[in-house]
Amino acid sequence: MKLELRNVTKRFPGVIANDSVDLKVESGEILGLLGENGAGKTTLMNILYGLYSADEGEIIINGAEMSFTGPGDAIDAGIGMVHQHFMLVPVFTVAENVVLGIEPTVGPVGTIDLGEARREVEEISNKYGLDINPDATVEDLAVGIQQRIEIIKVLFRDAEIIVFDEPTAVLTPQEVEEFFKIVNGLKEAGKGIIFITHKLGEVLAISNRIAVLRRGKIVGEVDPKTASKEQLAELMVGRPVDLMVDKGAAEPGDVVLSVTDLVVRDERQHTAVDHVSFEVRAGEIVGIAGVQGNGQTELVEALTGLEPPLAGHVELNGIDVTLATPRALHRSSVAHVPEDRQRSGLVLEFDVAENIVLDSYYAEPYSHGIRMDWDYAHEHADELIDQYDIRTPSSRVKASNLSGGNQQKLIVAREFARDTKLIIASQPTRGIDVGSIEYIHNRIVEERDEGAAVLIVSSELDEILALADRILVMYRGQIVAEVSGEDATASQLGLYMAGSVA
């Protein structure tokens, strides 16, 4: 099967998401589609999958021009998509999720033939080595397993071209290897694969060809056998990129944050943080590495006062803050850059100034007693917009109008512009453009050099390796390794992240 995207263009208000994109994929090959966040990769794939319609250009399959009015048409044409965020109904079983939309039925009222569904799922599972129980309920399954359900879904629909959108975001390096085995197996079986990612190492490892997307245009096609990471990065961003952060040696001072034997439960009452102990000193960056879902979220929530821990102690400069509220911690010069900026970090309906004072409005000089001082707030916001390079015409613009990178810079501005003793930053550069990533990384190092204790939690190994002076690896709620920033390597950390103790 031969798939071609010719001259595909898609515009949104104020922005050209895809600009005359040409792409080709054939059966039995893996095309890597590389681009940074915001380059237009997902938009392009949504067009291919029928979720969007292109403003210009054609989709051509085996020489015939196709027009998709919805995912149904794309599926019929043999295109299967494994989304970055899983499209699985958590309360349904594996089999139900797989057959949803093309259920085998029996009888006049459309009774679902669950036996048949089970059978077919098992067949595919065995054929491609996916090892799945059709009757398991999805929300009980680990994330790595859930991804396999998505794969079964596309195979069940006889997909010939399979698109993987950022599939390895939630996998350990070892799981990534297993995943690559499966993908290669699919390739051998004659499927054409499009592998979308922003991870340079992976795209070089798995692809037969690489296309690089930047600001909506294809800026180059590269042969992975000869290309280097630096080359790819430069194509992705448009200028030479320094992949390492410019960082001097750390000079750690006194212990600022001391965590002892912390136990935290998650929403479903399972133990998410299991007797964790560590310290962070002034003037050092401690990075907690680990695949999402190993308790990092709950750890940060406990440290920032959002959820009370079940047991253990947390001390800030010697004072017990185990049960401190977010307000109390804020007063104690603790800064928190939250994991989900749109959910916890910002009120999208508020303007920039209101968001800047979101956690400091209660005190002078932003308010006098219960009277808000909006004039001051706007002045202050204008200053920060300038200092932190937040791209917005004014402080009266609603936060929802800012791009992800600028939203994150707003949060960073809000948190770092204060007197900070401890900074806790969770996934600080998730989903934002490379320019903003560079900026925020540099600011973090600046804060460290000014004497703050910095704790970074990130599932991006590259980020941890670039920033951290000391690295802790979290696996299944426990700290399983501590490595110095200088000595650490990705493969070593990967082993720890997957649970094997060296």
Partner 1 sequence: MTEETTTKETPPPSKRPRWLEVIAPRQVDWVTLLVIPILAVLSALIVGAAVIVFTDGFGAVLPAYSALLRGAFGGWQSISETLLASAPLILAGLAVALGFQAGLFNIGAEGQMTIGGLTAVMVGFSFDGLPLLVHLPLAVIAGLLGGALWGFIPGLLRAKTGAHEVITTIMLNFIAFRTLDYVLKLPFIQKEGRFDPVSKDVLDSATYPSILQWLPIENPGRLRLHLGFFVALAVAWFVYWLLYRSTIGFEFRAVGANPSAAKYGGMGVASTIIFVMAVSGALAGMAGANETLGVVGRGVPGFTAQIGFDAIALALLGRSHPGGVVLASILFGALRAGGRTMQAQSDVGIDLIVVVQALIIVFVAAPELVRAIFRVRGGKKQGQVTRGWSA
Partner 2 sequence: MVGVTAVVGSIDTVRAPAEVRRARILGLVYISLALLVYFVFSVGTDGDVTFRFGESPGDLDWTVSSSLLATVVAVIFGFLGGIQLTRGFGSKTNIILGLAMGVFAFAFLGWAGAGKSIGIVGILVTTVAAATPIAFGALSGVMCERVAVINIGIEGMLLTGAFTGAVVGTVASPFLGVIGATLAGGVMALGLAVLAIRYRVDQIIAGVVINIFALGITSFVSSQVLVENRAALNSPGVLGPIRIPLLADIPVVGRILFQQNIFVYVLYTMVVVLSYLLFRTRWGLRSRSVGEHPKAADTLGINVFRTRYRNVFYGGLIAGFGGAYFTLGSVGAFNENMTAGRGFIGLAAMIFGRWHPVGALAAALVFGFADSLQIRLSILDVGIPSEFLLMAPYLVTIIVVAGVVGAARPPAADGQPYVKE
Binding partner selected for residue 133 from partner 1, partner 2, none, CB under the kind-specific 5 to 8 Å limit:
none
At closest approach, how far in Å is the CB of 389 from partner 2?
Answer: 27
By CB under 8 A, is residue 433 in contact with partner 1? yes
By CB under 8 A, is residue 91 in contact with partner 1? no
> Rounded to whole angstroms, how far apart are CA atoms 480 and 496?
7
Binding partner 1 (rule: CB under 8 A), the pick from 61, 397, 417, 490 is: 397
At closest approach, how far in Å is the CB of 71 from partner 2?
Answer: 5
- Locate tokens 């594996």: which residue? 94
For residue 292, what are the contacts with CB-CB under 8 A and spacing of at least 6? 143, 169, 170, 459
Q: Give, as ranges, the residues between 286 and 315 that touch partner 1 (CB under 8 A).
A: 304, 306
- Helix 374-387, helix 404-416: angle, nearest 10: 110
Q: Is 111 exposed, middle or buried (0-12, 13-18, 19+ CB in 10 A)?
A: exposed
Compare residues 328 and 347 and give the one whose CB is closer to partner 2: 328
Binding partner 1 (rule: CB under 8 A), the pick from 4, 73, 234, 359 is: 359
**Helix extents (H) in 28-142:** 41-48, 71-76, 94-99, 114-127
Compare residues 147 and 406 and give the one whose CB is closer to partner 1: 406
By CB under 8 A, is residue 209 in contact with partner 2? no
Binding partner selected for residue 391 from partner 2, partner 1, none, CB under the kind-specific 5 to 8 Å limit:
partner 1
The gap between the terminal CA atoms of the chain, to the nearest Å, is 45
At closest approach, how far in Å is the CB of 82 from partner 2?
Answer: 10
Q: Which stretch binds partner 2 (CB under 8 A): 31-39, 67-75, 189-197, 295-303?
A: 67-75
Binding partner 1 (rule: CB under 8 A), the pick from 50, 216, 252, 309 is: 216
Half-sphere exposure of 424 (CA within 13 A, CB side): 24
Q: 251 with 283: CB under 8 angstroms? A: yes
Q: 151 with 185: CB under 8 angstroms? A: no
> Do the strands 271-281 and 319-320 form a parallel or antiparallel pair, or are they unpaired?
unpaired
Among candidate residues 451, 496, 454, 343, the one with its CA nearest the CA of residue 407: 343
Binding partner 2 (rule: CB under 8 A), the pick from 31, 47, 75, 132 is: 75
Q: 242 with 65: CB under 8 angstroms? A: no
Compare residues 39 and 162 and give the one whose CB is closer to partner 1: 39
Tokens of 460: 């991006």
* Helix (H), strand (E) at residue 98: helix 94-99
By CB under 8 A, is residue 129 in contact with partner 2? no
By CB under 8 A, is residue 14 in contact with partner 2? no
Q: Rg of the Cα trace of the chain?
A: 24
For residue 328, what are the contacts with CB-CB under 8 A and spacing of at least 6? 305, 321
For residue 225, what are the contacts with CB-CB under 8 A and spacing of at least 6? none
Compare residues 225 and 371 and give the one whose CB is closer to partner 1: 371
Binding partner 1 (rule: CB under 8 A), the pick from 1, 61, 143, 348 is: 348
Q: Which residues make up the interface to partner 2 (CB under 8 A)? A: 46, 49, 51-52, 70-72, 75, 81, 83, 86-92, 96-97, 100-101, 103, 105, 109-112, 153, 265, 269, 308-313, 316-317, 319-325, 328, 331-333, 419, 421
| Site residues, partner 1 (CB under 8 A) | 12, 14-17, 37-43, 84, 215-216, 304, 306, 325-327, 330, 336, 338, 343-351, 354, 358-359, 361-362, 367, 370-372, 374, 391-394, 396-398, 401-406, 430-431, 433
